[in-house]
Structure 1
Amino acid sequence: MRLLLVLVLALAGRLALAQAAAALPEGLTRITEVEGVAEYRLANGLQLLLVPDDAKPTTTVNLTYRVGSRHESYGETGMAHLLEHLLFKGTPTHRNPWAEFSRRGLRANGTTSFDRTNYFASFAANPDTLRWYLGWQADAMTNSFIARADLDTEMTVVRNEMESGENNPGRILLQQTMATMYQWHNYGKGIIGARSDVENVDISRLQAFYRQHYQPDNATLIVAGKFDVAPVLRAVAELFGPIPRPTRPPVPQYTLDPVQDGERAVTLRRAGGNPMLYLAFHVPPASHPDFAAIEMLTSVLGDTPGGRLHKGLVEPRLAASAFAYAWGLADPGPLFLGAQLAPGQDVGPARDALLAAVDGLAAKPVTAEELERARTQWLNDWTQGFNDPERVGVELSEAVSHGDWRLYFLGRDQIRRLALADVQRVAAERLRRDNRTLGTYLPTSQPERAPPPQRTDLTALLKDFKGEAAVAQAEAFDATPANLDARTQRFDLAHGLKVALLPKTTRGSVVRASLRLHLGDEQSLRGQSTVAALAGSLLDKGGAGLTRQQIADQFDRWRAQVGFGIDGQTLSVSINTTREHLPAVVSLVGRLLREPAFPADVLEEGRSQWLADIERQRKEPESLVSDAIDRHGNPYPRGDLRHSPNFDEQVQDVQAVTIEQVRAFHRRFVSAARGEFAAVGDMDVPALRAALDAGLTGWRQPAGGPLAYVRVPRPLVDATPTRLVLRTPDKANATLMAVLSLPLNDLHPDFPALMVANHMFGDGGTGRLWMRIRERDGLSYSVYSGVAWSNVELNSRWVASAIFAPQNRPAVEQAFREELERSLKEGFSAQELDQARTGLLNARRLSRAQDRVVTSQLAGQLHLGRDFGLSQRVDEAIGRLTLAEVNDAWRRHIDPARLVTALGGDFPP
């Protein structure tokens, strides 16, 4: 019956495309279809891709322009990214897009890369919202203001985004490595641009850049998810069709760097962070057939724990972690290998081991086992992306930027067909001494050069490409609270585990699950926080008679992503797999929880990585500010679960943990005595229930006393108001955080009103903080406020935060203070309330359409004894709120005199 339903839905999706194609609107031509993705063209050159999928009630739209930082001329660096920002400043008929996004509940933004600029939005499926968004994009394509006044404020916002990136030594090292690799090509320039160009950009040049590239023949529109095909085709023809095809000729891109003929080096010295190494090689573009081998080499070298870098650097404790990745770009791009070192580690041995791992490929070629492991992981990730309508649009956008959207499918086929001999050939050709960036230049009479760079003949490459059959469609699911409750099966297993299952067909038969087990009490967990966290990180690193690598390989074969962790009193396991594999995955999870191996060498690896992260945080403004806020007024002694340790205490705690303590913690605390399991998606309920019974029945339960689970109380602690200033030398970005303790929880009568009031003040595109500090004053890239709601005690936290350049601290503080005082004195307006109410309700509907969110909510409901009826009642309460109720709640609970404020940055003494 289920198979029949999937086939019917798949045929329905193809029938919708076929029917729409039979009567296309004027000016629209059907080009081709590959695996359920249909391509159309308007007469003006706009390319349209439709990917209908009713699996969940959301729609995602991507509009990709084939313009990125590589298209910028001298003096124009950062122009593509700056233009992305200015497009959101509106048009004569769409004056405030951010406000409309918030009102309609869109999750929208834009991104810029080397090869493209992409604008995207996801929202609860709604034909009116879809048409409105398409209308705004059509209008913005040629009618955006791109005005001097907007540039003046947005330039400083972009500069603050640049300053935020300057705080990250790894990001700057990456940028400088690229600059050393590329002598002529724009890939050697950072996407965000040179500071001087961003600060001095000429508005007329920016407007010319906009008119040159923001045209229908340079754009691809992608609509994915739940929508009716025929109305979308009509809307695209009506909204984009009238835009004339430009008469300007396309600007050719022909710059390629010459073959590198010797090692290159770059050294970065800055305050903070830990030693890091990058080893970079020039590799072919994403469209080149050899790029499949590059993808596999990154996994063979950089995978954890099976990768050669992990074995050669991390296991011998020469580095805290190692990695490898390649950027698929339109022109020849980079492959990166690297290592993050722990505090005080010597770079020399790590560098030697990194080079040895690469050079060793000649004497020790890639094995068939390594290739198959890498292939399995890559194809699993590709399948998960193709099964997610919100992700597939982004993936297609990237393929468009590489030259043709069909490369998305061709790349998969190339991975499938890739031969071991080709992997070794490409490694020998590309991973050469004279093609790498690291170390010192040494002249040689016999340089070993990589093949010359070349572009791909896409016409020849794709002339016989057909693709596979279209993916099967899933049911159209209505994610209302009532339907979520009606479709959910709740029951208790014999051993006490509470279970909530929401079976439904999904694209690719995907299912998400969450297991939570609750541990200990206030006294028994004293001094155990760090031991618990390390124990949680080791649960999938060996156990049930399997090695770490065997566990990772088995999950890969089952197309499963599984994560383990322990935080506070909760052991959590997250699962993302498919219907056919879910029972087996659950069974193995149960065995790993009951029979962990806790290998001592992996504990040392985890300890090293944790210590490296602590050292990184010591100099970061955001980490220092958050730490200071958490510790201010904290009344709990060291060792208490609620104590907030400083960085030195964290280091001492991590260094003190032994493998014997980890194993003892598991024996004393971990069991199925109290817990919840939730799953959402395509599942065989009887088989899953049997797997849960087999995996957890008979598991030892604490026999009362100190090991029984009793939730540690977290009563409200009203900290003394204060203002803390923390200096972080050599950091170009600063942070402000203000916190206020609230005697509320999410069941309090004021919960809906305060949530709406905060939305108007600091959340969303119409929030007052955003409109003042970012939009009007141009002081911050990220500014917001929100409430961390407790669902038990009357103990929640209102938090406001902003990042900014250190010299702008007085202006940011003044703007925050003025907006807070104005909101309390004048209150909010009826128009703000209407916008906030609509935006919040749309956002809540969108969240209930996400299987990942619903899975987490179901597990939480089991623990708290709730259902989705509460969500419906909150929605109804939001709908009934009056302006007086909202303003009264805001004034009743938000008191500037009680704020705890902290600022961190490179401020004058």
Structure 2
Amino acid sequence: MSIATSSPKFPAHIVKLDNRLTVIHQYIPATPVVVVDVWVRAGARQEPDRWSGMAHFLEHMIFKGTEKLGPGIFDQIIENRGGIANAATSHDYAHFFITTAAKYIEEIVPALAELLLRASIPESEFAREREVVLEEIRQSQDSPDDLGFQALMENVYQLHPYGRSVMGTEALLREREVNEMRCFHRYHYQPENMAVVVVGGVEQTQVIELVSTAFEQFLPKCSDCPQVEIEGEALITKVRRQEIHLPRLEQGCLTMAWIGPGVEELDDAYGLDLLSVLLAEGRSSRLVRELREDLALVQGIGSNFSLQQDSSLFTISAMLEPKDIPEVEARIGDRLDELLTLEISEVELARCKRLLCNDYAFSTESPGQLAGLYGYYFTIANPELAITYPKKIAAFQPKQLLNLAAKYLSPNRYAATVLIPS
């Protein structure tokens, strides 16, 4: 094995095993807890269109066990030791994480490796669990928030897989067969696509020896898994508007969205984080102060920047009376116009930097948060970039943010999704 060259400021050790599996470890002697978080570059963006929902469905089926660990046995192992296990799937990744007492790590890691590397995906459980996933889809279709968000994603991403729901559709999932999932699993759950992140009260030598042994034997890679050619999503060139009338909706909702950079332009992405705070985080932000505090045109308004591997998403969302939507949308456009012409003050920029750097500090307090941060950056870029965020944020100057606003946040080119109570 070889140890990758790391920045001396990076608090974790990155080890690349001979089979190309990445191990990220940080020893925190003061805690008796350890988090084991396995990240896989096998999210929904890796699915062929006809296999939409496969990655999320596989997350469910992973827990159905192996020939060695039958259904429910893994849960017993974790729960009997007071641990907590869970998993999540996004467009860019899937990850499986356990929090437990450090003294149980020798029992936990082999069980998790067995589950991830040798999932049997039994046919009887496949049919049963599919109904569970289908019920999740039905529940999301009853949620105005979920319906609105998915409609927005389809409006924004008309070429890229980010426009598809991570859960897929009922029609496509009913067509799936167990051998297709086994193929997807054996193709993507391979060492070069995975990082085992261990943070807590366990020393490095023990972690490396344990992970090296437990994650040694992978299943043969599937040779005929359909490959995905991902098309880049161009910036929006006009206003794309959709209006959706929904029952059980108590008030209107306006969401405006812009396509941002992916990880290849990470500095731009960090700048958009600052612009998001400047526009609509906290009472003194521009949109909150004007539209909620001064004019009372909205019940609430916020902005969000979501970093994704290929192209990110910048949104401004407001809860309001439907009659006020045109005026609010116009005023948001005016504030974006101002970003192109009026320089941001040092005081205002300092507030934004302070909020983001504080949020970052608060998000790195626990072993679970650190493991999630390192694993997330592994899947989309490079784990060492995880610690560069505060320094990058602190270095931004007002002129840089004006340039980014002109590049990405046009008041004349965005996607708008409007939800109206029916």
Pair in the same fold by TM > 0.5: yes
Partner in structure 1 of residue 375 of structure 2:
397
The 8 Å contact of residues 87 and 146 in structure 1, kept in 2 or not, is answered as: yes
Q: Distance in 2 between matches of 1:245 and 1:293?
A: 43
Q: SS of the counterpart of 2:259?
A: strand
Partner in structure 2 of residue 165 of structure 1:
140
Partner in structure 2 of residue 368 of structure 1:
346
- Counterparts in 2 of 1:857-876, with a 5 A limit? none
Partner in structure 1 of residue 309 of structure 2:
330
Q: Distance in 2 between matches of 1:198 and 1:105?
A: 35
Q: Distance in 2 between matches of 1:408 and 1:238?
A: 28
Q: Distance in 1 between matches of 2:84 and 2:229?
A: 34
Q: SS of the counterpart of 2:139?
A: helix
Q: Distance in 2 between matches of 1:79 and 1:302?
A: 36
Residue 302 (1) aligns with residue 275 (2): no
- Counterparts in 2 of 1:672-691, with a 5 A limit? none
- Counterparts in 2 of 1:679-718, with a 5 A limit? none
Q: SS of the counterpart of 1:432?
A: coil
2:253 to 250, 254, 276: 276
Q: CA deviation digits over 1:138-186, x for unaligned, max 9?
A: 2123311112211111111112222222232122111111101111100
Q: C-alpha displacement at 1:221, in angstroms?
A: 0.5
1:292 to 270, 274, 278: 270
Partner in structure 2 of residue 255 of structure 1:
231
Q: SS of the counterpart of 1:32?
A: coil
Partner in structure 1 of residue 92 of structure 2:
115
Identity %: 21
Partner in structure 2 of residue 202 of structure 1:
177
Q: CA deviation digits over 1:848-872, x for unaligned, max 9?
A: xxxxxxxxxxxxxxxxxxxxxxxxx
Q: Distance in 2 between matches of 1:32 and 1:106?
A: 33
Distance 1:354 1:367, change over 3 A: same
Q: CA deviation digits over 1:18-47, x for unaligned, max 9?
A: xxxxxxxxxx32113342210111111100
Partner in structure 2 of residue 223 of structure 1:
198
The 8 Å contact of residues 325 and 336 in structure 1, kept in 2 or not, is answered as: yes
Q: C-alpha displacement at 1:345, in angstroms?
A: 5.5
Q: CA deviation digits over 1:396-452, x for unaligned, max 9?
A: 121112221122123333212222211110001111145311289xxxxxxxxxxxx
Residue 265 (1) aligns with residue 241 (2): yes
Partner in structure 1 of residue 30 of structure 2:
55
Residue 32 (1) aligns with residue 8 (2): no
Q: SS of the counterpart of 1:371?
A: helix
Q: C-alpha displacement at 1:60, in angstroms?
A: 0.5
The 8 Å contact of residues 304 and 314 in structure 2, kept in 1 or not, is answered as: yes
Q: CA deviation digits over 1:106-136, x for unaligned, max 9?
A: 111000011000101111221xx21222112
Q: C-alpha displacement at 1:287, in angstroms?
A: 4.5
Q: C-alpha displacement at 1:249, in angstroms?
A: 10
Q: SS of the counterpart of 1:212?
A: helix
Please give the TM-score of this superposition, normalised by the length of structure 1: 0.44
The 8 Å contact of residues 363 and 369 in structure 2, kept in 1 or not, is answered as: yes
Q: SS of the counterpart of 2:137?
A: helix
Partner in structure 2 of residue 341 of structure 1:
320
The 8 Å contact of residues 340 and 403 in structure 2, kept in 1 or not, is answered as: no
Q: C-alpha displacement at 1:225, in angstroms?
A: 1.0
The 8 Å contact of residues 32 and 40 in structure 1, kept in 2 or not, is answered as: no
The 8 Å contact of residues 318 and 345 in structure 1, kept in 2 or not, is answered as: no
1:438 counterpart letter in structure 2: A
Please give the TM-score of this superposition, normalised by the length of structure 2: 0.92
Distance 1:439 1:167, change over 3 A: closer
- Counterparts in 2 of 1:539-578, with a 5 A limit? none
The 8 Å contact of residues 282 and 435 in structure 1, kept in 2 or not, is answered as: no
Distance 1:306 1:392, change over 3 A: same
Q: C-alpha displacement at 1:388, in angstroms?
A: 1.9
Q: Distance in 2 between matches of 1:84 and 1:412?
A: 33
The 8 Å contact of residues 66 and 219 in structure 1, kept in 2 or not, is answered as: yes
Partner in structure 1 of residue 406 of structure 2:
428
1:279 counterpart letter in structure 2: M
2:237 counterpart letter in structure 1: D
Q: Distance in 2 between matches of 1:92 and 1:172?
A: 39
2:138 counterpart letter in structure 1: E
Q: Distance in 2 between matches of 1:243 and 1:259?
A: 40
Q: Distance in 2 between matches of 1:113 and 1:101?
A: 24
Q: C-alpha displacement at 1:228, in angstroms?
A: 2.3
Q: SS of the counterpart of 1:160?
A: helix
Q: SS of the counterpart of 2:244?
A: coil
1:319 to 284, 288, 298: 298
Q: SS of the counterpart of 2:388?
A: helix
The 8 Å contact of residues 237 and 414 in structure 2, kept in 1 or not, is answered as: no
Q: Distance in 1 between matches of 2:145 and 2:195?
A: 33
Partner in structure 1 of residue 416 of structure 2:
438
The 8 Å contact of residues 187 and 222 in structure 2, kept in 1 or not, is answered as: no
The 8 Å contact of residues 53 and 169 in structure 2, kept in 1 or not, is answered as: yes
Residue 66 (1) aligns with residue 41 (2): yes
Q: Distance in 1 between matches of 2:156 and 2:289?
A: 27
Q: SS of the counterpart of 1:386?
A: coil
Q: Distance in 2 between matches of 1:157 and 1:410?
A: 40
Partner in structure 1 of residue 357 of structure 2:
379
**Count of residues in Structure 1 that have an aligned counterpart in Structure 2:** 412
Residue 354 (1) aligns with residue 332 (2): yes
Q: SS of the counterpart of 2:59?
A: helix
Q: C-alpha displacement at 1:366, in angstroms?
A: 2.7
The 8 Å contact of residues 170 and 276 in structure 1, kept in 2 or not, is answered as: no
Q: CA deviation digits over 1:260-304, x for unaligned, max 9?
A: 221101111111122001000011014522111111011001112
1:398 counterpart letter in structure 2: Y
Q: Distance in 2 between matches of 1:32 and 1:293?
A: 28
Distance 1:411 1:246, change over 3 A: farther
Q: Distance in 1 between matches of 2:379 and 2:333?
A: 32
Q: Distance in 2 between matches of 1:160 and 1:102?
A: 26
Q: Distance in 2 between matches of 1:418 and 1:363?
A: 18
| Structure 1 runs (4+) greater than 6 angstroms displaced | none
The 8 Å contact of residues 87 and 144 in structure 1, kept in 2 or not, is answered as: yes
Q: C-alpha displacement at 1:248, in angstroms?
A: 5.7
Q: Distance in 2 between matches of 1:49 and 1:377?
A: 28
Q: Distance in 2 between matches of 1:175 and 1:38?
A: 38
Q: Distance in 1 between matches of 2:151 and 2:52?
A: 15
In structure 1, stretches of 5+ residues that fail to align are 1-27, 441-615, 617-729, 731-909
2:67 counterpart letter in structure 1: P
Q: SS of the counterpart of 1:268?
A: strand
- Counterparts in 2 of 1:768-787, with a 5 A limit? none
Q: SS of the counterpart of 1:264?
A: strand
2:101 to 116, 120, 124: 124
- Counterparts in 2 of 1:183-194, with a 5 A limit? 183-194=158-169
Q: SS of the counterpart of 2:55?
A: helix
Q: CA deviation digits over 1:697-749, x for unaligned, max 9?
A: xxxxxxxxxxxxxxxxxxxxxxxxxxxxxxxxx9xxxxxxxxxxxxxxxxxxx
2:335 counterpart letter in structure 1: A
Q: C-alpha displacement at 1:386, in angstroms?
A: 2.6
Q: CA deviation digits over 1:434-488, x for unaligned, max 9?
A: 5311289xxxxxxxxxxxxxxxxxxxxxxxxxxxxxxxxxxxxxxxxxxxxxxxx
The 8 Å contact of residues 278 and 339 in structure 1, kept in 2 or not, is answered as: yes
Q: SS of the counterpart of 1:380?
A: helix
- Counterparts in 2 of 1:500-539, with a 5 A limit? none
Q: CA deviation digits over 1:513-569, x for unaligned, max 9?
A: xxxxxxxxxxxxxxxxxxxxxxxxxxxxxxxxxxxxxxxxxxxxxxxxxxxxxxxxx
Larger Rg: 1
Q: SS of the counterpart of 1:296?
A: helix
Q: SS of the counterpart of 1:269?
A: strand
Kindly indicate whether structure 1 or structure 2 has the higher relative contact order, using CA contacts under 8 Å at least 6 residues apart: 2
Q: SS of the counterpart of 2:218?
A: coil
2:370 counterpart letter in structure 1: V
Distance 1:317 1:178, change over 3 A: same
The 8 Å contact of residues 287 and 402 in structure 1, kept in 2 or not, is answered as: no
